[in-house]
Structure 1
Amino acid sequence: MNIGCSSSQDNDIAERLIDSIGSMGNVVIAFSGGVDSSVVAAAATRAMNRPGRGSCLAVTARSPSLASWQAELASRVAGEIGIAHDFVATDEIERDGYVQNGADRCFYCKQTLYEFLQPIAVERNAVILSGTNLDDLGDHRPGLVAGNLADVRTPLADLGIDKQTVRGIADWFGLSNADLPASPCLASRIAYNVEVTSDRLARIDAAETWLRERGVGDLRVRLHAGELARIEVMPERLMDVVELQQQDSLVAAFTEMGFRNVTLDLRGLRSGSMNEALVTLSSMQVNR
């Protein structure tokens, strides 16, 4: 069920979310600083401030796949919400299933995350919550399987709250990241079957930081075999990237970072574009 949401409904849906989380007792939230987990954290904080309720803690995984700006964002947004916040260092980069970067990479990433969160939850007699929303259920997200195996609760999806509704609730909560574009982990930028390494993750982080510092906000730098960088930006920003090459020698900067070739995707930014090959392959198999 998709709730849908107008501004007049934000309050009612937010209250339902608060009540739902409040009935769970103590909670530990897998917190990225993105809008989904922030809404869950904000609702949990409001729920736990009511008499007789439990406690809440937001935990952010710190690893090479976390973009440098996202760590600061998570700390800042947690402070705005007023929720206790910790970082935990995770070791997915040392796990073969993750490094090999097959179509199930996200499973190993989330499996690792929840393995590190479970002792924290046990110590606090708490359940683990994620920011999975209704729209996530229709995408290629093997991490959801890891969440199910670890008994992670998904209050947004369980209430039929989609991404648009999440943003409406975030705005009603007054969260500064209500309109923040989605920004999955850096490993999602690496083409499937190209190994995930700390060096490649750092290179992607450096390249995206270089572009952000020059005013290009919503973007991805995808890494393909042969250390090829494929830049995705919103269609209206394509010429801005071309101008960066002319003015600031973008290619020279990326080459210094370790990329061998640099391309600009004229189709523009597409969330989950690395999954397009998986969809094509699946269609070919069905039609054989």
Structure 2
Amino acid sequence: MKQVMNLNLDQKFNVLRLNIERMGSLAVAFSGGVDSTFLLKVAHDILGSRAIAVTARSSTYPEREFREAVDFVKGLGAKHVVIVSEELDIEGFSDNPVNRCYFCKKELFTKINNVARENNIEHVADGSNVDDLGDYRPGMAAVEELGVTSPLREAGLTKEDIRVLSKDMGLPTWDKPAFACLSSRFPYGQKITREKLGMIDRAEQLLLDLGFKQVRVRHHGEVARIEVSSEERSKFFSIDLMDRIYTSFKEIGFSYTALDLKGYRTGSMNETLKAGK
């Protein structure tokens, strides 16, 4: 890993292309986000019909994200397999333990591995990058157990690298805000239900419709904690906007609405975890 991290961007990109070419065939776990979109595009350019996209539908995956994923693959001309991977049906998942993502990834990639075999595809890949190594990611254990490859990470590519390359390639996702499944909006130990997921989905869609770009609505029981990007926090100086959001969130089912003063950051729910977990 240290060797590829010392390479410049063009060299990292060449490592990625070479690694994908050597695979011969690849099924990409495709969410429509920045990383998986870039990976799918590169794989399709190199492998053609031997690269397929696999997208999982579930109550933790907003419809807007799914539609964008479908539209992109259609425009690319790649084969797209849509599967159902309902995390809430996995025993223990809805209890939201600290290793929740392990159960999710194991279920997801077991199914994607099956899709790959059915389509005579030799390898399965996720879209994780080097930056994902810096946070608590129990799902990576499942990825390793199931033999899933991580081409972007193995090439030493960071999120910023991927955005730069995506822009150069004309991908519409180059500046797309980061996204994580809706289950990440709950403190560990708080029960996850379809009703609560629906509340989060509607609340975040409201903020997006109001023009916010990077949003998270964290579910703390009766309280909705809003995270927006640092530069967007000043929008809340508008009393009219605050009143509108409060009223709308009340209708969604939140008794109280609060703004996180620090703003959006990845893995904010992990901040309460004890070191070593």
Query: Common fold, TM-score beyond 0.5?
Result: yes
- The alpha carbon displacement at 1:18 in A equals 2.0
- The alpha carbon displacement at 1:81 in A equals 3.3
Answer yes or no: is the 8 Å Cα contact 1:19–1:47 preserved in 2. no
- One-letter code aligned to 2:146: A
TM-superposition CA deviations, 1:140-199 (whole Å, max 9, x none):
101100101111011111111111211122122221101112111111111111111111
> 1 CA distance for matches of 2:127 and 2:186?
23
Corresponding residue for residue 164 of structure 2: 168
1:75-114 pair list within 5 angstroms: 75-114=70-109
Runs of 4+ aligned residues of structure 1 deviating over 4 Å after TM superposition are 244-248
TM-score (norm 1): 0.88
Q: Secondary structure at the match of 2:92?
A: helix
Match of 1:196 among 192, 199, 212: 192
- One-letter code aligned to 2:211: G
- The alpha carbon displacement at 1:240 in A equals 2.1
Indicate the larger mover: 13-22 or 55-64.
13-22
Answer yes or no: is the 8 Å Cα contact 2:177–2:213 preserved in 1. no
> 1 CA distance for matches of 2:22 and 2:190?
43
- Say if 1:83 and 1:13 are closer, same or farther in 2 by CA, change over 3 A: farther
- Say if 1:171 and 1:118 are closer, same or farther in 2 by CA, change over 3 A: same
- Say if 1:182 and 1:267 are closer, same or farther in 2 by CA, change over 3 A: same
> 1 CA distance for matches of 2:58 and 2:12?
34
Indicate the larger mover: 247-256 or 166-175.
247-256
Answer yes or no: is the 8 Å Cα contact 2:19–2:151 preserved in 1. yes
Corresponding residue for residue 275 of structure 2: 282
> 1 CA distance for matches of 2:107 and 2:264?
29
- Say if 1:178 and 1:207 are closer, same or farther in 2 by CA, change over 3 A: same
- The alpha carbon displacement at 1:262 in A equals 1.0
- The alpha carbon displacement at 1:99 in A equals 0.6
Answer yes or no: is the 8 Å Cα contact 1:107–1:146 preserved in 2. yes
For structure 1, the 5+ residue unaligned runs are none
> 1 CA distance for matches of 2:239 and 2:71?
30
- Say if 1:74 and 1:250 are closer, same or farther in 2 by CA, change over 3 A: same
Answer yes or no: is the 8 Å Cα contact 1:4–1:162 preserved in 2. no
> 2 CA distance for matches of 1:250 and 1:207?
9
TM-superposition CA deviations, 1:86-109 (whole Å, max 9, x none):
221112111232111111011111
Corresponding residue for residue 20 of structure 2: 21
Corresponding residue for residue 178 of structure 1: 174
Answer yes or no: is the 8 Å Cα contact 1:231–1:265 preserved in 2. yes
- The alpha carbon displacement at 1:17 in A equals 1.5
Instruction: Tell me whether 1:271 sits opposite 2:271 in the alignment.
Output: no
> 2 CA distance for matches of 1:157 and 1:34?
16
- The alpha carbon displacement at 1:247 in A equals 6.8
TM-score (norm 2): 0.92
Aligned positions, number: 274
Corresponding residue for residue 31 of structure 1: 30
1:1-288 pair list within 5 angstroms: 1=2, 3=5, 9-10=9-10, 12-49=11-48, 55-126=50-121, 127-224=123-220, 226-243=221-238, 246=241, 249-278=244-273, 281-282=274-275
> 2 CA distance for matches of 1:120 and 1:244?
51
> 2 CA distance for matches of 1:144 and 1:69?
26
> 2 CA distance for matches of 1:150 and 1:80?
30
- The alpha carbon displacement at 1:266 in A equals 1.1
**Percent identity between the two aligned chains:** 35
> 1 CA distance for matches of 2:192 and 2:7?
39
